[in-house]
Amino acid sequence: MSQLADPFGLRSLDIEVLRTRDGAKWQSRGGRYAAWVADMDFPVAPAITDAMQGVIDGNAFGYPDWGGPYALSPAGRLFAPRMADRYGWEPRPDRVRDMVDVLQGVRATVFHLSNPGDGVVLHLPAYHPFLDTVELMNRRLVPVVRAGGAFDYDALEAELAGSGASIWILCNPHNPLGHVFDRPELERIAAIAERFDITVISDEIHADLTMPGVTHVPFESLGDEASARTVTLASASKAFNLAGLRWAAMHVGSDRMQAVLAGLPGHYLGAPNLMAVTATVAAWTHGDQWLSAVIDVLDENRRALTGLLAEHLPGVGYEPPRATYLAWLDCTALGLGPDPSQTFTARGVALSAGPEFGPQGEGHVRLNIATSPSVLAATVSAMAG
Ligand SMILES: Cc1ncc(COP(=O)(O)O)c(C=O)c1O
C-alpha cells in the first residue's frame, strides 16, 4: 500500500505491533485479536500529536492561561462553532461546560435531576455504563424495545402513562446498534419527553462517526422546547481516538440543570486536562481530513463484514451500522448460548459480550471494526475457529 493511498497509515496496521500496544484494548483481555472496547486501532491524526508535542517541547505543564481558574477551556469555546459548522445547530456559548468525560455529565445529571426510584428511559440494547448508572444510582429502568426492527414508542408511552420517568438517556448515534435517529424519530422522542415531563440527556459522542450519506441531527437542534429540557454531551474522544485523555463538553439547554450547576462550587465536577484540551482543539481545527480518511475505512469495513460473515460465520445476523465503528452481531443461529463471546474468547478473539447490553443482548456480540481491513478479515476468520 503506497503512502499516497494511505497517508495516515490506517490500512496498513501490523497485527504484531497492535499486540504490543499499551492500553486496555490490547493488554487486558489476552487473546490474539482485540475487537471489544470502543477504541480504534488507528494512529491519531498527526495534527493532534504535533500539538501535544508542542506542549511537551514548551515544557509548560502548569496551570493553563485560559482566562481564570473557572473559565471555559479553548476546546469548550470551539464546541458551539463546531456544532454550527457541522450540524447547523447553534448551541448557546454561555451554556457550554467542560467535563472530564461524557459519563460524568450523564451521571451528574441523573444524580441531580432525578431521585432514587425514578424511571430512566433507555433504548435497549443499551451501552452498559448507562445500565450500570440506572442500577448503581437506584433508578428504575424504563426500556424502549424494538418490535419488527423499529423501536416501539407506543409501548413506551403506555408504560410511561402508568409509571412515569424523570430522565431519558438518548444515545444518538446509538451504541451498540449503530442506529442514527432521524428527525421524525427525534421529534417523536421530544413529544414523549414533553408529554411526560422528562429531561433528556443526549449523548452524541459518536456524532462525527456517521457513514457517508447519513446525517446526524443534534437533539437540541429540534427547537427551543426540546433544548430547554435537554443536556447534550459530546467529545472528540470517539471520533479522534482520544478516550484516555479525558475531556468532554456539556451543553446545558435545561434551565433546571443550569441552576444545579450554578449552585455547585467551581471544580466540584473537576477541571479540564491540558493535554486533552490541546488534543481536542487540534482535532476540531485540523483533524477533518484524517477523520474523513477514517470514515472511508470504516465504511469499507462495515460493507466487507457482510461478506466476511457469510464466508466464515454463515447465519450470523448483521445490519451494517449507519454510524459508529461498532457492529452488533446476532449469533443466535450459531447455537453458542446466551453469551457467544465466551466461545470467541476461547478462539482468541476478545469481543464485547451481548448480555452486558441488557437481556436483549443475549446471543449477541459487539465487534469493533475500527482497524485495518486485513486485521478485520483475520479477526472474523479467527472467530470461526
Ligand atoms: C455512547 C457512549 N457514551 C459515552 C462513552 C464514554 O465516554 P467517556 O469516556 O467520555 O465517559 C462511550 C464510550 O464508548 C460511548 O460509546
Question: How much of the chain is in helix, strand and coil states, percent to nearest 5?
Answer: 45, 15, 40
In the reported structure, the alpha carbon of residue 21 is separated from the centroid of ligand 1 by a whole-number distance in angstroms of 21
Cβ of 175 closer than 6 Å to ligand 1, yes or no, is yes
Q: Report how far ligand 1's centroid is from the alpha carbon of 162 (Å).
A: 31
- pLDDT per residue over 244-271, tens digit each? 999 999 999 999 999 999 999 999 999 9
3-state DSSP assignment of residue 380: helix
Percent of the chain with pLDDT over 90: 97
Ligand 1 in reach of 205 Cβ (< 6 A):
yes
CA dist., res. 254 & res. 258, Å (int): 6
Domain at 15-46+288-383, CATH homologous superfamily? Aspartate Aminotransferase, domain 1 (3.90.1150.10)
Q: Ligand 1 pocket, 237 CB below 6 A?
A: yes
What is the pLDDT, as a whole number, of residue 1? 57
Check whether 4 has a pLDDT greater than 90.
Answer: no
Which cell numbers hold the place of 300? 469499507
Q: How far is the CA of 310 from the centre of ligand 1 (A)?
A: 31
168 vs 8, 61, 107, 152, 284, CA distance in Å?
38, 39, 12, 15, 28
d(CA 366, CA 34): 12
Task: Tell me, using a 6 A CB cutoff, whether residue 280 lines ligand 1.
Answer: no
Domain with CATH 3.90.1150.10 in the chain: 15-46+288-383
Domain boundaries for CATH 3.40.640.10 within the chain: 74-285
Question: So what's the pLDDT on residue 347?
Answer: 98
Name the residue at shortest CA distance from atom 7 of ligand 1: 102
Q: What is the CATH number of domain 74-285?
A: 3.40.640.10
Distance (angstroms) between ligand 1 centre and the Cα of 161 equals: 31
Q: Please say if the pLDDT value at position 368 is more than 90.
A: yes
Query: What's 333's DSSP letter?
Result: G
Tens-digit pLDDT profile for residues 195-211: 999 999 999 999 999 99
State if residue 103 touches ligand 1 by the CB under 6 angstroms criterion. Answer: yes
Quote the Cα angle for 321-120-268, to 5°: 95
Query: Cβ(99) to ligand 1 under 6 A?
Result: no
pLDDT at position 367 is 98
Q: Does 127 sit in the ligand 1 pocket, CB within 6 Å?
A: yes
CA 83 to chain centre: 16
HEC sequence for 76-143: HHHHHHHHHHHHCCCCCHHHEEEECCHHHHHHHHHHHHCCCCCEEEEECCCCHHHHHHHHHCCCEEEE
**CA 131 vs CA 140, 267, 346: distances in Å:** 10, 27, 27
For the chain, helix (H) and strand (E) counts, in that order, are 14, 15
Give the ligand 1 atom nearest the CA of 37: 14
- Eight-state DSSP code of residue 258: H
If you search the block for the grid coordinates 450459531, which residue do you land on? Answer: 334
DSSP 384: T
CB atoms inside a 10 Å sphere around CB 53: 12
- pLDDT class for 69, splitting at 50, 70, 90? confident
